[in-house]
């Protein structure tokens, strides 16, 4: 049976690639796209998700607007320097005429979890404010959810915003702390695996060849994104962070994990750090009382690439 997921997202170019990947997979049933501020402001994230549904002809998939700022502190600065002014590499696709679902992203998550108890995996590929708010709205949420798969964090590698923090967690560290502390089954796909793999320009060319509409969109949008990721390098590369947790649902054998106790730092200097104490590595109560998560630390690059291409080709 296909995995029922809610995809919580801040589209974003790698978000777009991941959303199309999920739509294309026969093993994934997308119950809704819940959007959140992050790469772009909350309004733009919601409108961009509608555009992606139009392109994929997924007109029945509800799209909601979510939190617009971090749990604590001022409005964020957005990543237009990575994703373009429009979030899609300055390609400016046509706006959708479809309306958003009127519920907040957090309310939608709670409603769907109550309607499908124990069946839904929350796949979060942006900052974690919607999930934290859903936990506040329904404290029993962890009992209603099958699992949580997060693109975010950096356990054993440097961050991409600060030396210790990855962007999704850094953008809303207090919300991430709430989410990582809740009593549910968390798989984390951070920079430990997503920065392990760079994709060459030919990768998006193949996606376009296999799927001219969806792959073509990713190929065009990714040119700006590649400019960013290729700065200071000899080769031209890009990274598709957000598709990793979806790939894991489709084929768990692609990844290896390290299990341990996770803490998310919220102090100003270390904000967003996701530090992991592997099982048996410490006797400190501060760490042993932290919840256990599974952090992806190995990935089969050739098979993952093949899965992306085969799924776009369907």
* Residue 10 annotated among the catalytic residues of the structure: yes
Which of the ranges 125-133, 141-149, 176-184, 213-221 carries the binding residues for Ca ion, by CB under 5 A?
A: 125-133
Q: In 3D, which of 136, 16, 116, 112 has the Cα closest to residue 64? A: 112
* Residue 116 annotated among the catalytic residues of the structure: no
Select the residue interacting with Ca ion from 8, 15, 138, 192 (CB under 5 A).
15
Q: Determine which one of 10, 14, 15, 192 is catalytic.
A: 10
Select the residue interacting with ligand RIB from 8, 166, 172, 192 (CB under 6 A).
166
Sign of CA pseudo-dihedral 35, 37, 39, 44: positive
DSSP, collapsed to helix, strand or coil, labels residue 167 as: helix
Whether the Cβ atoms of residue 123 and residue 249 lie closer than 8 Å to each other:
yes
Residues 5-64 that bind ligand RIB (CB under 6 A): 10, 12, 14-15, 38-39
- Name residue 275's beta-bridge partners: 263
When the beta carbons of 151 and 295 are compared against ligand RIB, the nearer one is 151
When the beta carbons of 105 and 168 are compared against ligand RIB, the nearer one is 168
Rounded Cα distance between 44 and 41, Å, is: 5
Q: Which helix (H) or strand (E) holds 160?
A: none
Query: How many helices (H) and strands (E) would you count in the chain?
Result: 14, 9
If one asks whether residue 177 binds ligand RIB (CB under 6 A), the answer comes out as no
Strand blocks (E) in 10-104: 28-35, 63-64
Rounded Cα distance between 242 and 287, Å, is: 28
Residues in the interface with ligand RIB (CB under 6 A) total 15
Nearest distance from residue 116's CB to ligand RIB, in Å? 25
- Spell out, one character per residue from 115 to 154, where the chain touches ligand RIB: x when CB under 6 A holds, - when not: ----------xx------------------------x---
DSSP, collapsed to helix, strand or coil, labels residue 17 as: helix
Q: Which of the residues are catalytic?
A: 10, 241
Query: Which parts of this chain interact with ligand RIB (CB under 6 A)?
Result: 10, 12, 14-15, 38-39, 125-126, 151, 160, 166-168, 241-242
């Amino acid at each position: 049976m296909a995995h029922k997921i809610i995809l919580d997202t801040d589209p974003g170019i790698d978000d777009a690639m991941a959303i199309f990947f999920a739509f294309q997979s026969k093993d994934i049933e997308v119950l809704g796209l819940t959007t959140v501020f992050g790469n772009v402001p909350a309004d733009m994230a919601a409108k961009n998700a509608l555009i992606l549904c139009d392109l994929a002809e997924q007109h029945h998939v509800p799209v909601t607007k979510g939190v617009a700022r971090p749990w604590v502190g001022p409005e964020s600065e957005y990543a237009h320097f990575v994703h373009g002014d429009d979030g899609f590499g300055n390609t400016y696709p046509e706006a959708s005429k479809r309306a958003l679902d009127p519920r907040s992203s957090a309310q939608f998550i709670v409603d769907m979890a109550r309607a499908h108890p124990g069946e839904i995996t929350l796949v979060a590929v942006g900052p974690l404010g919607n999930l934290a708010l859903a936990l506040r709205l329904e404290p029993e949420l962890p009992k209603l959810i099958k699992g949580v798969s997060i693109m975010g964090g950096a356990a054993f590698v440097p961050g991409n915003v600060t030396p210790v923090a990855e962007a999704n967690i850094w953008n809303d560290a207090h919300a991430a702390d709430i989410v990582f502390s809740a009593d549910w089954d968390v798989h984390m796909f951070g920079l430990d695996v997503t920065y392990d793999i760079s994709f060459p320009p030919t990768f998006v060319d193949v996606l376009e060849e296999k799927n001219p509409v969806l792959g073509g969109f990713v190929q065009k949008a990714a040119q700006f994104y590649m400019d960013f990721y290729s700065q200071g390098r000899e080769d031209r590369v890009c990274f598709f962070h957000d598709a990793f947790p979806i790939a894991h649902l489709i084929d768990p054998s692609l990844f290896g994990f390290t299990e341990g106790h996770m803490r998310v730092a919220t102090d100003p200097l270390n904000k967003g750090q996701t530090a992991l104490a592997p099982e048996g590595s410490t006797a400190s109560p501060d760490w042993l009382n932290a919840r256990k998560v599974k952090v992806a630390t190995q990935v089969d690059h050739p098979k993952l690439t093949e899965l992306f291409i085969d799924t776009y080709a369907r």
